[in-house]
Amino acid sequence: MKKVINESNRVVEEMIEGFLAAYGRYYRKVPGVKGIVRQEKQDKVAVVIGGGSGHEPMFLGFAGEGLADGVAIGNVFAAPTPDTVYEVAKAADSGKGVLFVYGNYAGDVLNFDMGAELAENEGIATKTVLVTDDVASAPPERRGERRGIAGDVLVIKIAGAAAANGLDLEEVTRLAKKANDNTRSIGVALTPGSIPDTGTPTFTLPEDEIEFGMGIHGEPGVKRTKLMKADELTDHMLQAVLEDLPFQAGDEVCVLINGLGSTTLMELLIVHRRVSHVLADRGITVYDSDVNSFCTTQEMGGFSITLMKLDEELKKYYNYPAYSPFYAKQRLGE
């Protein structure tokens, strides 16, 4: 596939250079590693996120006001190194501890754990919350084994708001876990993405077929079917999400429709139209929605649907304003 790159082995470095050239007013590079932190260190619990590149704007674009304080960046579809995690944590910490938030993938877990151990050895208190929102990746009784996909957005939003409100590390961790416990997602793939180093597709799929539950790196889903109309497809996906928590009449939810790279905003809005109709029919109130491409896989075709069930506590922190160049939320509610 055609790509706008220079040297294939420098795509991540050049991406970071371009990000800082555009937004250096707000961020600075962590010396010696592929990481960024906010320009001014904040006197609060630091939220550090991260993962492999190739999913932009996740994770690079989710540091900012009311969001994360630092981002540990890996190579394309590869976990950040332990040194990167450690150096970013050290650069972000103000003495009140660091909460790591990232998707549940083996490489990320291993390297973040090692980075956390290095930070602890330096006297930095750390906690970790793994995002496990993908209902297709394991059954409910093994929910802790699930992958993290677009639900990262909502968990980071709550964690960042809790930290910005001055809560201590235990409380920020508790709220981030609560956000994850109340968040469910499922995705569908229509066409593959590609790996910039090689230009090769991440998987193959017949032209008239789609795959339910495929992961954001091309991990296997739960079934392949023929392509169907948007409403029918949305109904199938939403059913899997609604049954899992389960979500019930009277619930209040946030909705996130996330494009995987090449699916257009027009298509995503058509999906949201159907989601809003189905939820209304079930007596579930939509408190707020986002429709955009936040957690992508290069130019993969497809999208995911995420719901987060709210209570008054989660709503308080969801309402807190947030800003980064790629995600913004005005203050909502009182």
Q: Is 254 helix (H, G, I), strand (E, B) or coil?
A: strand
**pLDDT by residue (tens digit) across 42-86?**
999 999 999 999 999 999 999 999 999 999 999 999 999 999 999
List residues with catalytic annotation.
55, 217
The residue type found at 331 is: R
Threshold 0.85, pTM exceeds? yes
CA distance 227 to 233: 8
What length does the chain have? Answer: 334
Nearest alpha carbon to residue 276 among 255, 248, 306, 299 = 255
User: Mind listing the pLDDT tens digit for each residue in 239-297?
Assistant: 999 999 999 999 999 999 999 999 999 999 999 999 999 999 999 999 999 999 999 99
Strands (E) located in the chain: 27-29, 35-38, 46-53, 70-76, 98-103, 126-131, 183-191, 209-212, 223-226, 252-259, 285-292, 301-309, 322-324, 327-329
102 vs 116: CA distance, rounded Å: 13
pLDDT in tens, 16-38: 999 999 999 999 999 999 999 99
Is residue 73 within 8 A of residue 60, CB to CB? The reply is: yes
186-221 pLDDT, tens digit per residue, is 999 999 998 887 888 888 899 999 999 999 998 989
